[in-house]
Chains A and B, each alone.
Chain A
């Protein structure tokens, strides 16, 4: 087997093993599926009430678009939103120390490990969302196969960015004893900026600021591509890709500096 193929294979196998591990218990997905369904139902009622009171469109979105926007925007949050807890637990328990002495890219291995299981969960949630959306708002407004592929690719980029940002936050444990607060702040900003509401619903000034942050790439981009695919969609994908590259560089840097600070005392 080619040397480079052998090198790449380890990450594929890691993703596969992680996926199998996730499948060990059928009930693993039950809680996120139930919460996701409840959120979709509640927000579909809210949007119905909002549009009944305010008119057919707000900032270019109608009721159906808003419901579908929410369904797609929540997929990265539910499907890829839990990496931090596993990583932080490994850091606090000292388990991370025992994962260092292996011939792999630590960031790459954890990416494969995290994404292997998360992709499956995100896929299941997306299928659930499409089913519920069809019942509550009518068919997903997809116009072409290109749009479908763009949405799926955008979700993959959103998931990757979620992983990388959460990885960087988890690695702050090299310097801070308790870093859950950082994740909490990150999570809440991500929720407000583009997940619960499209960015266009924010005040002008806030929109200008958030467009310079990675937050729109976490949920807004795939949701926008799903409900308003157009000439500007390519730019959103490029923006997401750029943030993924930048976040990967930050992770490598943070981990590279932080690994020398590991203080795993005792046996």
Chain B
């Protein structure tokens, strides 16, 4: 079943602009100037139930706006968004309630917990808001408290919890009513490496145990590699990449980095290859594996002298995504994407997490 269906989704914000100076401020009172910002432009995608999807993009790409439209917070300017068959922008109170009951949301920078009260109070309130009977609520709460390891924090006011402890409680709270789709907007923002790893593990477990569809935005490549099976990349409000993590990781194999160090100065002029760095006895090359065979390059390097050290590295997933992010325009990004064929590439890369070989969920 399709969990999320988005067709031609667009959102334009109207923002008031103010020119510099006192005169401009006065004019602005009488005749304000407005600027339209296309935050999301005709986005299309579908997510199947049970998929774990990363929704990526640089700051201002339209990720949070899309999530807010999917969760019914914002009304699209045009297009439609459906979650579990319910139109997110429906004006009917019954649809809004049905949608709210079916989804959970964690916004990393906004809290759903009461700041001055312990999480147990917020859990009680959320249980009541989602109309969970007291006995099932107690069972579900006990299960989540154990799974998320938050027993020690349940009676401590939220303001006294660390960010990592709070986020654990936030995610547990969002799963209290057993949502079928969980939206996470940068859940690991500001967390240290150890806590991030724990949160990723918990999300992976939630996806597996609760069979919940996860739609995750993050700037953290670790989140994406560890938790997600598919990546949708949005740039300037439009989708530019929509493929499985496996395919995305295979892009890394198109490029290798070879570092070589000789025992003595060597001639490192290799026809057709330009070193990224070079000294008398060492160099680092970027190899396009579609143009040069790795074994050929290695053979030529061996012929140049006695090798002290040699490294062969894949391009990291982080670099690939960063390249896509920094593309100056949508067209550039699309061209960059087309320039990297993936069909001829084999599996196996050291840049990925444990889920790289699992089947992608692209529709």
Measuring CB to CB, which residues of chain A are less than 8 angstroms from any residue of chain B?
A: 1, 3, 6-7, 9-10, 12-14, 17, 20-21, 24-25, 95, 97-98, 100-104, 109, 177, 256, 259-260, 262-267
**For chain A, what secondary structure do more than half of its interface residues adopt (helix, strand, loop), or is it mixed?**
helix
Q: Mark B112-156, 1 if CB is under 8 A from A, else 0.
A: 101011000110110011110110000000000000000000000
Set of chain B residues within 8 Å of A267, measured between Cβ atoms: 59, 63-64, 107, 109, 185-186, 217
- Given the interface contacts A101-B105, A103-B131, A177-B16, does A17 sit within 8 Å of B73 by beta carbon? no
Set of chain A residues within 8 Å of B109, measured between Cβ atoms: 267
CB pair A265–B128 under 8 Å, yes or no, is: no
CB pair A10–B100 under 8 Å, yes or no, is: no
Can you list 10 A-B contacts (CB < 8 A)? A10-B128, A12-B128, A17-B121, A24-B117, A24-B157, A95-B110, A103-B101, A263-B74, A265-B15, A266-B64
- Given the interface contacts A267-B185, A267-B186, does A21 sit within 8 Å of B114 by beta carbon? yes
Nearest residue (CB) in B for A17 is: B125
**CA gap between A9 and B125 in the complex, in Å:** 10
B72 interface hit (Cβ, 8 Å): yes
- Given the interface contacts A103-B101, A267-B63, does A1 sit within 8 Å of B128 by beta carbon? no
CB pair B65–A265 under 8 Å, yes or no, is: yes
**CA gap between A98 and B109 in the complex, in Å:** 11
CB < 8 Å neighbour of B129 from A3, A10, A177, A264: A10
Nearest residue (CB) in B for A93 is: B110
Set of chain A residues within 8 Å of B105, measured between Cβ atoms: 98, 101
Set of chain B residues within 8 Å of A17, measured between Cβ atoms: 114, 117, 121-122, 124-125
Q: How far is the CB of B40 from chain A (nearest CB, A)?
A: 11
Interface size grouping (class) on chain B: 35 or more
CB pair A103–B72 under 8 Å, yes or no, is: no
4 shortest interchain CB distances as A-B pairs: A267-B64, A13-B128, A24-B116, A103-B100
Counting chain B CB atoms within 10 Å of each CB, which of A3, A6, A104, A266 scores highest?
A: A266
Q: How far is the CB of B64 from chain A (nearest CB, A)?
A: 4
**CA gap between A25 and B100 in the complex, in Å:** 33
B103 interface hit (Cβ, 8 Å): yes
Set of chain A residues within 8 Å of B68, measured between Cβ atoms: 97, 264
Set of chain A residues within 8 Å of B186, measured between Cβ atoms: 267
**For chain B, what secondary structure do more than half of its interface residues adopt (helix, strand, loop), or is it mixed?**
mixed
CB pair A97–B16 under 8 Å, yes or no, is: no
B291 interface hit (Cβ, 8 Å): no
**CA gap between A228 and B186 in the complex, in Å:** 60
CB pair B131–A10 under 8 Å, yes or no, is: yes
Within 82-120 of B, Cβ neighbours of A (below 8 Å) are at 91, 96-97, 99-101, 103, 105, 107, 109-110, 112, 114, 116-117
CB pair A98–B110 under 8 Å, yes or no, is: yes
CB pair A97–B157 under 8 Å, yes or no, is: no
Q: Mark B60-74, 1 if CB is under 8 A from A, else 0.
A: 100111001001111
CB pair A103–B129 under 8 Å, yes or no, is: yes
Set of chain B residues within 8 Å of A262, measured between Cβ atoms: 73-75
Set of chain A residues within 8 Å of B15, measured between Cβ atoms: 265
Q: What 17 new A-B contacts, CB under 8 Å, besides A13-B125, A17-B114?
A: A9-B128, A9-B131, A14-B128, A14-B129, A21-B116, A98-B105, A100-B73, A101-B103, A101-B105, A102-B129, A103-B96, A103-B97, A262-B73, A262-B75, A263-B13, A265-B13, A266-B65
Set of chain A residues within 8 Å of B133, measured between Cβ atoms: 1, 6
Q: Mark B211-228, 1 if CB is under 8 A from A, else 0.
A: 000000100000000000
Nearest residue (CB) in A for B103 is: A101
Set of chain B residues within 8 Å of A259, measured between Cβ atoms: 75
Q: How far is the CB of A10 from chain B (nearest CB, A)?
A: 4
CB pair B112–A98 under 8 Å, yes or no, is: yes
Q: Mark B304-336, 1 if CB is under 8 A from A, else 0.
A: 000000000000000000000000000000000
Counting chain B CB atoms within 10 Å of each CB, which of A100, A266, A267 scores highest?
A: A267
Set of chain B residues within 8 Å of A24, measured between Cβ atoms: 116-117, 157
Q: How far is the CB of B134 from chain A (nearest CB, A)?
A: 7
Set of chain B residues within 8 Å of A109, measured between Cβ atoms: 129
- Given the interface contacts A97-B68, A177-B16, does A264 sit within 8 Å of B74 by beta carbon? yes
CB pair B72–A6 under 8 Å, yes or no, is: no
CB pair B73–A101 under 8 Å, yes or no, is: yes
Q: How far is the CB of B127 from chain A (nearest CB, A)?
A: 8
Set of chain A residues within 8 Å of B60, measured between Cβ atoms: 266
Nearest residue (CB) in B for A100 is: B73
**CA gap between A122 and B352 in the complex, in Å:** 60
Set of chain A residues within 8 Å of B96, measured between Cβ atoms: 103
Q: How far is the CB of B335 from chain A (nearest CB, A)?
A: 28
Nearest residue (CB) in A for B117 is: A21
CB < 8 Å neighbour of A260 from B75, B100, B107, B157: B75
Counting chain A CB atoms within 10 Å of each CB, which of B114, B129, B133 scores highest?
A: B129
- Given the interface contacts A17-B125, A265-B39, A267-B185, does A101 sit within 8 Å of B116 by beta carbon? no
CB < 8 Å neighbour of B100 from A1, A7, A95, A102: A102
**CA gap between A267 and B101 in the complex, in Å:** 23
CB pair B74–A97 under 8 Å, yes or no, is: yes
CB < 8 Å neighbour of A20 from B13, B63, B121: B121
Set of chain A residues within 8 Å of B116, measured between Cβ atoms: 21, 24-25
CB pair A14–B125 under 8 Å, yes or no, is: yes
Nearest residue (CB) in A for B114 is: A21
CB pair B72–A100 under 8 Å, yes or no, is: yes
